Amino acid sequence: MIAPVSRSRSLASVRFAACASLLAALAIPVSAAAYQELVVVRKTGQSSSHVTYNKAASQAAAACADPGVAFAFTVEPSDGVTSIEVERNANALLSIPLTVTLGCSGIDGTAIIAFNAVGGTAVSGTDFVSTPGSALLSLNSHDDGTGAPSTASASVSISILGTPQSSARTLSVVRTEGSFQGVLADGQPLVGVIPGSNAPIVGITILGSVDIGDATGGIPGVDPAAGEVGTATANFCGQGGGGAGSTACQATQVAAELVADPDTPGSVREAATEVLESNLLAIAPDETTAIAVVAPVLARGQFDNLAARVAELRTADMGGTISTGGLTLLSNGIPISLASLAVLNQTDDPQSERNEERRTLLGGTRLGMWLNGNLGSSESDRRESNSGFESDTWNITGGVDYRFTDQFFAGAALGFSSLDADYSNDQGSLDADSRSVHVYSGYAMPNGFSFDGSISYLRSDYTQKRVIEIMQLDGSGTGMQSLGRDIATGKPSVDQYGFSFGVTYTIMHGTWTIAPQAQFALVRTRYEAFQETGPSDFNLRYEERNNNNRSLSVGAYVDRTFATSVGAFRPYLRAYYFADNGASNDLITSFVQANDDGGNETLTLSMIEPDNRYGTAEMGLGFSRPIGTRTVDFNVGYLQTFSFQDLNRWALRFDVRIPL
């Protein structure tokens, strides 16, 4: 039974009490005039009822003066509460006490007075379930209404179901069909039925529930991710939802109601707003959006390693050598041309010792083996519904190629990549290991034009740890405290298929090298479906997604060689402009915990559109020094990406190539 609460108590204070203790519901009495129903049963067996307000005694006395009346009685709420509001819809249990008072009787016997709850706009079985009650009233022919009244009690139990609803719904307790039996003064038996009445003895209003999503919409500047999952969370936490009745859902619902209530004190509203937004952000899978950002980074690292080797082959007369190239800080650049090294070895006499040295330096056999790598760091700020993060990556690639002619070469390579990322605001981590295989070829023409292409496949296995920390208001109502910090672990996998084709025109003039370049790349990415595990009620299941990205880059590489007694120095500059054509599909997920109907509540999170126009610029210095009949080549440079919102990239690149 829910005890009556004084109406002078504000709704805000009532809701605060519910928030502090996570009570399911409150019944609030509404002041009303004292309601009574007078029922008169005549000796003919017929009956009539009359609604009265504080006049039952006088009206009963008047009725009893009629010698044709068998008996009369009044009905009223025992506690005087005739109207009740039920806060929220969280399975409140109401017990409605009723009193039946005998006004007078001309027969000896008993009467059964029955009661039940009937719906107005509320629907029995959907909004409420009631248990009827009855009162057994003793009839005494010597009771003329002047002595102590004879009374009987009854109660009706009403369970308010937690069905989500946006509008108020009503029901009432009424008198239902009863019966009587007795003996008149002349000894004649009298048996009959007391018809029920539609007159409400107690009116009950089930207040409309506050939708978590609607409450979130009322928060100025709410995080987009929190707003997008509000409705799904409301359904998941509502009646029949997989999370219904959980402490986490109750805390979130209470916060939503306090935010939506205009009578909530300012300090309480501020704390409730913080709780509501924090909980929805903890539920939202915004961290998972980072995979769509880092997946291209892993692929880019492998493509850059491959491009570095292709650049060596494109500028060399012969491909045979074992070389190490590339310790690159961040994988975001176009490989440095070796044309400058060729300049140092140029001679007009093809039979000279100088030219023979050149051929040795650039490879002496058609078969070549190579290995290079890169190290990187990147940072992404939170953008719309997508999480921010910081990551470190490294890539290593090695392969074998063969120069079939002085102009045509082909090869194959294997790669391995690793990524470690931390989400912003201590919201979890993301780790990945990637394996790749590449097939590539190229053709260099005597007029300076060269063409190259590659086909790649990358398989990346991720481990994501997403922090789900649900908050609630503390005891003061003006702060928040944690209900626990759970980790939802997911192991998604990503397949990437890449194709690229490039054309380069190399211009060599004295000690200058100028190489304009254009490249087209196509990458198809498939994000496999996966499911999170962990103790949280809000673990998610992710659907498969596919994404196609087409990219066209144009730019140029420029360097100049300065020969000194210690070696050749080569300052260089390269800049490229990228135009991409690709879109990101929305992230579609569902709660792992099923609803009562066996289905799973779906959440959809918008993915930001990737930047389609951006540029890169790199400045650096190369150094070449002969060691015996071979030349060791070093390069160091700084690379910066411009107008790229998704990711802040910078690069400090190192390359070393040692012919063997």
Over residues 130-149, the mean pLDDT reads 82
DSSP state string for 103-116: EEESSEEEEEEEEE
Mean pLDDT, to the nearest integer, of 581-587? 76
Please provide the DSSP assignment of 593-622 as one string: SPPTTS---EEEEPPPPPP-EEEEEEEEEE
What does 312-371 look like in DSSP terms, one character per residue? HHHH-S----EEEEEEEESS--PPPPSHHHHHHT--S-TTSHHHHHHHHHT-SSSEEEEE
**CA 523 to chain CA centroid, nearest Å:** 27
Q: What pLDDT does residue 279 have?
A: 93
pLDDT of residue 651: 62
Interval 150-196: pLDDT, tens: 899 999 999 988 665 656 788 999 999 999 999 998 889 999 999 99
What is the model's pLDDT at position 323?
41
What are the pLDDT digits (tens) for 76-125?
999 888 888 786 545 578 999 999 999 888 899 999 999 999 998 888 98
Q: DSSP class of residue 386?
A: B
State both tokens at 92: 């409140």
Q: For residue 320, what pLDDT band results from cuts at 50, 70 and 90?
A: very low
HSE (side-chain half, CA atoms, 13 Å) at 280: 32
Note the pLDDT of residue 629: 58
- Per-residue pLDDT of 213-222, as tens digits, reads 778 877 888 8
Of residues 602 and 643, more confidently modeled: 602
Burial class (CB in 10 A: 0-12, 13-18, 19+), 58: exposed
| Band of pLDDT at residue 655, cut at 50, 70 and 90 | low
pLDDT at 395 over 90: no
Residue 544 has pLDDT above 90, yes or no: yes
Query: β-strands 493-505, 128-131: how paired?
Result: unpaired
Identify which of 216-225, 250-259, 492-501 has the greatest average pLDDT: 492-501
Q: Is the model's pLDDT at 378 over the cut of 50? A: yes
Residue 426: CB atoms within 10 A of its CB come to 10
Q: What is the pLDDT of residue 10?
A: 35
CA quadruple 232, 238, 241, 246: dihedral, nearest 10: 110
pLDDT at 193: 95
- 290-294, 374-378, 551-555, 643-647: which range is least confident on average? 643-647
pLDDT tens sequence across 54-69 = 666 677 777 888 889 9
The pLDDT value recorded for residue 145 is 58
Of the ranges 84-88, 301-305, 332-336, 369-373, which is most confident?
A: 301-305
132-155 average pLDDT score: 84
What would the mean pLDDT of 303-319 be, rounded to a whole number? Answer: 67
Determine the Cα–Cα distance for residues 115 and 131; give it in Å rounded to an integer: 9
- Taking 60 as the threshold, does the pLDDT of residue 29 lie above it? no
Q: pLDDT at position 13, please?
A: 39
Is the CB of residue 512 less than 8 Å from the CB of residue 346?
no
Q: What is the 3-state secondary structure of 144-206? A: CCCCCCCEEEEEEEEEECCCCCCCCEEEEEEEEEEEEEEECCCCCEEEEEECCCCCCCEEEEE
User: In this structure, are residues 152 and 135 in contact, taking their beta carbons and an 8 Å threshold?
Assistant: yes
Which pLDDT value is given to residue 147?
A: 64
Q: What pLDDT does residue 353 have?
A: 45
Is-contact 73 99, C-beta < 8 A? no
Q: What is the mean pLDDT of the chain?
A: 80
C-beta of residue 424 within 8 angstroms of C-beta of residue 325? no
Which residue would you say has higher pLDDT here, 531 or 585?
531
- Reported as a single tens digit per residue, the pLDDT across 224-248 is 888 889 889 988 988 788 888 788 9
Q: What is the pLDDT of residue 196?
A: 94
Neighbouring CB atoms inside 10 A of 312's CB total 26
Q: What is the pLDDT of residue 164?
A: 59
Find the mean pLDDT for residues 245-269. Answer: 86
Tell me the average pLDDT across 432-454: 93
Q: Once rounded to an integer, what is the mean pLDDT over residues 378-387?
A: 79
| 20 pLDDT more than 60 | no
Task: Give me the pLDDT at residue 336, please.
Answer: 30
Q: How many CA atoms lie within 13 A of 518 on its CB side?
A: 3
Show the 3-state SS of 260-298. HCCCCCHHHHHHHHHHHHHHHHHHCCHHHHHHHHHHHHH
Band (pLDDT 50/70/90 cuts) for residue 198 is confident
User: How far is the C-alpha of 503 from the C-alpha of 453, rounded, in Å?
Assistant: 9
